[in-house]
A and B are shown apart, each in its own frame.
Chain A
């Protein structure tokens, strides 16, 4: 039983290594990816692309040997060694360049986290188990096809789940589907105008562009007054402390309609006023 189970492992490990190697050799963005990976800190930026391809070639070679007959224990030993070396590389990347990309299975930028370690650990364990394999994987699958498919599919799912660089193929679409079905943020849709919207409109208004140099603070206070939202700021006008008060249209976007006054804090007199030019009367 153990021998049969072990005989299946080269198929899993070989397939993952083939994917990893082929991606490193064939990806269009491979050189750029190599520079962003921890390899560039390990061997230098100039040699990163070459090292990336070399790693890819090694993975491809070991993967091909694992898949091709005959099944030799030494192949599994080499694969285990490769996985352990990869664990070492991940540890190095985590410590020395924690923000650099793994560059393992896809071009997606994925810093090394626990899932990458777990995946490599699973592959190392599978490779080590393969040493005890009694035969080549094809006869093993042939002997008990049903259970073989179940075992390999389960293992492949584990590897997929532990691959953050492959999330965009299954996890993101799954989460999008969940959002589409459950609408978790639908409650945020309302007719209320956020104050950020009024501030945005204010900043683009001629009134603020005229009064802006006097304004000293960020938004001090705001409230609604009929069709207006009133925003107040602390201002300095000459040597006098003042409050800049702006009235922004609340329910429409019309920066040109924004009104402003500057009120003296000491005697509450209006120091300056900005009234928008009246809209031109349509003629004819």
Chain B
């Protein structure tokens, strides 16, 4: 199925009033049942608080081989991260595996396979979450003070959004003021002090 066909098909499914086939067969759809569906019968969630979460990895991409990412963690651990068509990949916006590059910072969540590979459900590339002050505003660029260090935030038209006072996000950034405190979610440009801005949270 091509991407366009797939979108058409999913459109029909969610908007066209498709017939539900499996629901009754699979039982209740209450949230409790949904949680139960994640954990098959009898299987207990075993977490050892003294060990790192096996289903999570972070680090920087040191190699890419097809859909397999080789990642060196900040603690020196080596991870192999397998991407599939069902893996969400974020790099400033939802994107595809082609946009992953060697040197990108990475967070990945998924399921650890028997051979140690992490089958990723979700991958975030270069994502940063920063609390900063706006030190100045220029044409499509916002300069930040991050605990005394300079940081350059690039406004990406069509992608950068602002959330004012916890109201729904809008694309209008013109309510941002010099000197105020904001929280920034963005994509770091590796080995620079620059980020592309995804969402800016501010009071207005």
What is A's interface to B at a CB cutoff of 8 Å?
Answer: 98-99, 110-111, 113, 168, 172, 175-176, 179, 183-190, 192-197, 200-201, 209-214, 216-223, 225, 228, 230, 232-234, 236-239, 241, 243, 245-247, 253, 259-261, 263-265, 268-273
Q: Is B51 an interface residue (CB 8 A)?
A: no
Using Cβ atoms and an 8 Å threshold, which residues of chain A touch B198? 196
Q: Is B31 an interface residue (CB 8 A)?
A: yes
Interface of A, secondary structure class, is mixed
Q: Tell me if A176 and B34 are in contact (CB < 8 A).
A: no
Q: Tell me if A176 and B178 are in contact (CB < 8 A).
A: yes
**If A175-B137, A194-B159 touch, does A230 touch B174 (CB 8 Å cutoff)?**
no
Q: Is B188 an interface residue (CB 8 A)?
A: no
Query: How many Å from the CB of B92 to the closest CB on chain A?
Result: 11
Q: Tell me if A239 and B40 are in contact (CB < 8 A).
A: yes
What is B's interface to A at a CB cutoff of 8 Å?
Answer: 7, 9-11, 13-15, 18-23, 26, 29, 31, 34-35, 37-38, 40, 86-88, 90, 93-94, 121-122, 124, 135-142, 147-148, 155, 157-161, 163, 168-174, 176-179, 198-199
Using Cβ atoms and an 8 Å threshold, which residues of chain B touch A172? 178-179
Q: Tell me if B172 and A189 are in contact (CB < 8 A).
A: yes
Using Cβ atoms and an 8 Å threshold, which residues of chain B touch A217? 86-88, 121-122
**If A190-B171, A270-B20 touch, does A247 touch B157 (CB 8 Å cutoff)?**
no
A197 to B37 alpha-carbon distance, docked (Å): 30
A110 to B133 alpha-carbon distance, docked (Å): 12
Name A190's closest neighbour in chain B (CB-CB): B171
Looking at the complex, which one of A189, A212, A222, A272 makes contact with B23 (CB distance below 8 Å)? A272
